[in-house]
Amino acid sequence: MTGQEDARTMRRAWLLTVGLVVITAVAGGCGGYSVGTLLPEHIKTIAVPVFVNETDEPNLEIQATNAVINGLATDGTLRVVPDDEADVVLTVRIIKYERKAIRYTGATQPAEYRVTVTVLATLHDTREGTDLWTDNRLSGSTEFIVRAGLPASEARARPEALEDLAHDVVEHIVEGW
């Protein structure tokens, strides 16, 4: 090895060492940061009574309630329990179910729709006896193309809108208040 090659090797080793020191310092400085919930520490469980359906859509309350319970189970931050065992209770009123044409074939024939489900939700802390947040307007939506008739196409799309709603509700519970 020549002197020049020795100098290059030493310089690479020095740069690598400095880089590792910088990475370690930066990573070590992030020790206080964590991803998770903004809920108070005493809140570990949630009750989700069947939603109140104020729309004309039959069985929407069951489908929406189940979507939110599944969303909570997937998130894993809170465990779903009966009302009398819960640290918080989520009450939800479905206030709007809207199907709106968004694209047409020809002048008047709708080919694509957007379904939106809107709710008002309250999260009540049972230990403190207070609402952590109340009547927050949350929604979920999806778009669908009419293929086998409007009712069948909408029925296939509705679970996606409810899953989107559930995502919005769960995110608001664990992060957004």
Instruction: Read off the pLDDT of residues 82-109 as tens digits, 9 standing for 90 and up.
Output: 999 999 999 999 999 999 999 998 888 9
For the ranges 13-27, 29-43, 128-142, the one whose mean pLDDT is highest: 128-142
Does the pTM surpass 0.85? The reply is no
Domain 43-176 has CATH 3.40.50.620: no
- DSSP conformation letters of 16-63: HHHHHHHHHHHHHHTTT---S--S-TT--EEE-PPPEE-SS-TTHHHH
Residue type, 34: S
Which residues have CB under 8 Å from 157's CB, separation 6+? 113, 115, 142, 143, 144
Q: Give the pLDDT of residue 7.
A: 52
| 3 state DSSP class of 140 | strand
Mean pLDDT score across all residues of the chain: 85
Pairing of strands 45-47, 79-80: parallel
Q: What are phi and psi of 52, to 5 degrees?
A: -95, 125
pLDDT class for 33, splitting at 50, 70, 90? very low
Question: Hey, where are the domains in the chain?
Answer: 1-34, 43-176
Q: CB-based burial of residue 132 (10 Å sphere; 0-12 exposed, 13-18 middle, 19+ buried)?
A: middle
Residue 158, token pair as written in the block: 């509705």
pLDDT class for 18, splitting at 50, 70, 90? very low
